[in-house]
Amino acid sequence: MPERRIILASSSPRRKELLSLTGLKFTVDAGDYEEILTSSVPPRSLARRLSLGKAETVSRRYGNALIIAADTFITFRGNLLGKPHTPKEAGRMLRLLGGKTHSVITGFTVLDTASGKRRSRSVETRVRFRKLTPSEIRAYVRTGEPLDKAGGYAIQGIGSLLVREIEGDYFNVIGLPLAALAETLRDFGVFVLG
């Protein structure tokens, strides 16, 4: 029987970089699952549901593979914040989050296409921003970094200057909670650390 492949179902270069840290050999297939953020579902359940949808979409193309999919968004005072697509939208998100604490939630799914076994989990990290001045927000938005990042910032980039403290998994904020993923992969016979 051919060796089981590992497929990362994501177009995110950050997730690809993070999964590379594990030393696992994998290929990327982003699929075409359409994410719809809805506040009618509890955030952690929604994150799991979205990651499962991504995994299932990609799984149809592989007979003997382990699919890893994830979805990350931010919750703040009952609102879901996805990725801003314009500088104006990014500025609005950053003004909202400045000086306050928000939650970054990543749902991820591991799906074995041969057996049909699947496991979806979610991880939450709390992030507190320092107070941001209007000129700091404008300067950060001008860098272009906030676009296409959940909540309008990249904690691993210039956005690190906005963060006062985090409580929880740092890698979760980037988009893939590595410790939780490694635990889950063990259930599928994949051992990251031997």
**If you average pLDDT over residues 12-21, what whole number do you get?**
96
φ, ψ for residue 91 (rounded to 5)? -60, -40
- Give per-residue pLDDT as tens, 73-84: 999 998 999 899
pTM, 2 dp: 0.93
In a domain, 103, yes or no: yes
- Asked whether residue 120 carries a pLDDT value surpassing 70, the answer given is yes
- Give per-residue pLDDT as tens, 89-109: 999 999 999 999 999 999 999
- Asked whether residue 1 carries a pLDDT value surpassing 60, the answer given is no
Give me the pLDDT at residue 118, please: 98
In a domain, 193, yes or no: no
Number of domains in the chain: 1
Reported as half-sphere exposure (CB side, CA atoms, 13 A), residue 83 has a value of: 14
Angle in degrees, 0-180, between the axes of helices 134-142 and 87-97, rounded to the nearest 10: 140
In a domain, 41, yes or no: yes
The pLDDT-based confidence of 145 (bands split at 50, 70, 90) is very high
Residues spanned by the domain of 41: 5-186
How many other β-carbons are positioned within 10 Å of the β-carbon of residue 98?
A: 16
**If you average pLDDT over residues 46-58, what whole number do you get?**
96
Question: Do the Cβ atoms of 50 and 69 come closer than 8 Å?
Answer: no
In a domain, 140, yes or no: yes
Question: Do the Cβ atoms of 126 and 167 come closer than 8 Å?
Answer: yes
29, 71, 112, 169: the active-site residue? 71
In a domain, 117, yes or no: yes
Of 169, 71, 97, 158, the C-alpha closest to 126 is 169
3-state DSSP call for residue 106? strand
- Give per-residue pLDDT as tens, 162-174: 999 999 999 999 9
In a domain, 124, yes or no: yes
Cα-based distances in Å from 71 to 132, 133, 137, 140, 165? 27, 30, 26, 24, 22
Question: Do the Cβ atoms of 130 and 161 come closer than 8 Å?
Answer: no
Give me the pLDDT at residue 27, please: 97
Residue 29: active-site member: no
φ, ψ for residue 176 (rounded to 5)? -155, 105
Alpha-helix runs per DSSP H in the chain: 13-20, 43-59, 87-97, 134-142, 170-174, 178-186
Domain at 16, CATH number:
3.90.950.10
